[in-house]
Amino acid sequence: MEAVEVNGYTIEPGADLGGANLTRADLGGANLERANLERANLERANLERANLERANLTRANLERANLVGAYLGWTDLTEANLVGADLRGAYLGWANLVGANLVGANLIRAILEGARLQGADLEGVGLTEANLERVGLGWANLTEANLVGANLRRAILEGARLQGADLEGAGLTEANLVGANLTEANLVGANLVGANLGWANLKEAKLTGARADRNTDFPPGFDAVATGVITV
C-alpha cells in the first residue's frame, strides 16, 4: 500500500502528519515507515498490519486503536496514549515507550524485545506469551498485569510495580527485579534461574514450583524452600 488519501491527509512513507486528526481512520496495511505522527489523534483508528517502522508517534493518541500484527520496530512512542489498544501479535522490538500509557492494552504474543518502557503504565495489560527479552521496565506499573508464559529473560524490572501480577510459567532467567514490588504476585512455575530479586517485596507471592539456582538472589531473610521454590 503506497500513497493514498485518508481524511484529507496523504498516507505514505515519511509523511508529515504531526497533529493530524485520524480518528477512526482506516489505515489497515498502510505504509507509514518513518512518518511523523507526533501528537496525532489516531483514536480507534484501524492500523492492523500497518508498517510504522521508525515512525515518530511521540505523545500520539492511539486509544483503543487496532494495531493487531502492526510493525512498530524502533518506533518512538514516548508518552503515547495506548489505553485499551489492541496490539496482539504486534512487533515492537527496540521501540521507545518510555512514559507511555498502556492501561488495559492487549499485547498477547506481542514482540517487545529490547523495547524501552521505563515508567510506563501497564496496569492490567495482557502480555500472555509475549516476548519481553531484554526489555527495560524499570519503575513501570505492571499491577494486575497478565504475564503468563511471557519471556522476560534479562529484562530490567528494577523498582517495577507487579502487585497481583500473574507471572505463572514466565521466564525470568537473569532478570533484574531489584526492589520490585511483587506483593501477591503469582510466580508459580516461573523460571528464576540467575534472577536478581534482592530487596524485592515478595509478601504473599506464590512461588510453588518456581525454579531457581545458586545464582538467584532473593531478599535478605527470604526462605525460598519454604515457599515451594525448586533449586536446580
Residue range 159-189, pLDDT digits in tens: 999 999 999 999 999 999 999 999 999 999 9
Dihedral sign of CA atoms 76, 149, 203, 197 in order:
negative
The architecture that CATH gives domain 117-232 is: 3 Solenoid (2.160)
Q: Where in the chain is the domain with CATH 2.160.20.80?
A: 117-232
Identify the pLDDT of residue 141: 98
Query: pTM score, two decimals?
Result: 0.96
Q: Rounded CA gap, 51 and 180, in Å?
A: 35
Residue 1 has pLDDT above 90, yes or no: no
* Beta strand residue intervals within the chain, DSSP E: 4-6, 9-11, 211-212, 230-231
Identify the pLDDT of residue 224: 96
What's the start-to-end Cα distance of the chain, in Å? Answer: 51
Q: Rounded CA gap, 168 and 189, in Å?
A: 6
Residue 2 has pLDDT above 70, yes or no: no
Burial class (CB in 10 A: 0-12, 13-18, 19+), 203: exposed
Cα–Cα distances in angstroms (integers) from residue 177 to residues 52, 57, 200, in the given order: 31, 29, 7
Q: What is the pLDDT of residues 75-112, one digit of tens each?
A: 999 999 999 999 999 999 999 999 999 999 999 999 99
Identify the pLDDT of residue 3: 84
Cα atoms in the Cβ-side hemisphere of radius 13 Å centred on 180: 31
Q: Which percentage of the chain shows pLDDT scores above 90?
A: 98
Identify the pLDDT of residue 104: 97
Cβ 92 vs Cβ 71: under 8 Å:
no
Q: Rounded CA gap, 226 and 97, in Å?
A: 38
Q: What is the pLDDT of residues 14-31, one digit of tens each?
A: 999 999 999 999 999 999
Please give the mean pLDDT across all residues of the chain. Answer: 97
The DSSP bridge partners found for residue 4 are 11
The architecture that CATH gives domain 1-86 is: 3 Solenoid (2.160)
Three cell numbers, residue 16:
508529515
Q: Which percentage of the chain shows pLDDT scores above 70?
A: 99
Cβ 121 vs Cβ 141: under 8 Å:
yes
Which among 116, 123, 78, 64 is positioned nearest to 94, based on CA atoms? Answer: 116
Q: What is the pLDDT of residues 121-149, one digit of tens each?
A: 999 999 999 999 999 999 999 999 999 99
